[in-house]
Amino acid sequence: MNHSQEVMKHLEAISDPIRMKIIFTIGCQGRLNVKQISSHFTISRPAISHHLKILRNFGLLFCEKVGKEMYYSLNKHKLVIQLRALADELEQLEQLEQIEQLNVTPSAI
């Protein structure tokens, strides 16, 4: 998988509105368990767990088991890296567009 594809996969993981809200909830409140996270949503706990699993699989959440509870915290470093990578990709696309515009000769009138 090339760098662009990896960035796109991570964007897919965070682009879902529920997952985005989970990221902001955990980011603002710190380490939370599923029950605490679920209290911010109207969807079921199993649905929240599904979204947490996706975020965890992409390395965007840390997970720690304490007794019977799983606690989640945001991997801010990984999220920042992915967002910077997106910005870099967009910047490269913009530079390519500028180069292409310079190489296009206006048609004769």
Domain ranges in the chain?
Answer: 3-95
pLDDT at 57 over 70: yes
* The two three-digit tokens of residue 74, written as one number: 């945001």
pLDDT at 39 over 90: yes
Q: What is the mean pLDDT of residues 47-55?
A: 95
- 17-33 tens-digit pLDDT: 999 999 999 999 999 99
Residue 79 Ramachandran class (φ > 0 left, ψ -120 to 50 alpha, else beta): alpha
pLDDT at position 93 is 83
* The two three-digit tokens of residue 35, written as one number: 């029950």
Instruction: Choose the CATH number for 3-95 among 3.50.50.60, 2.60.120.620, 3.90.180.10, 1.10.10.10.
Output: 1.10.10.10
Quick one: pLDDT band at residue 83, thresholds 50, 70, 90?
confident
pLDDT at position 107 is 58
Whole-number mean pLDDT of the chain?
Answer: 88
pLDDT at 40 over 60: yes
What global pTM score does this model have? Answer: 0.77
93 within 8 A of 74, measured Cβ to Cβ: no
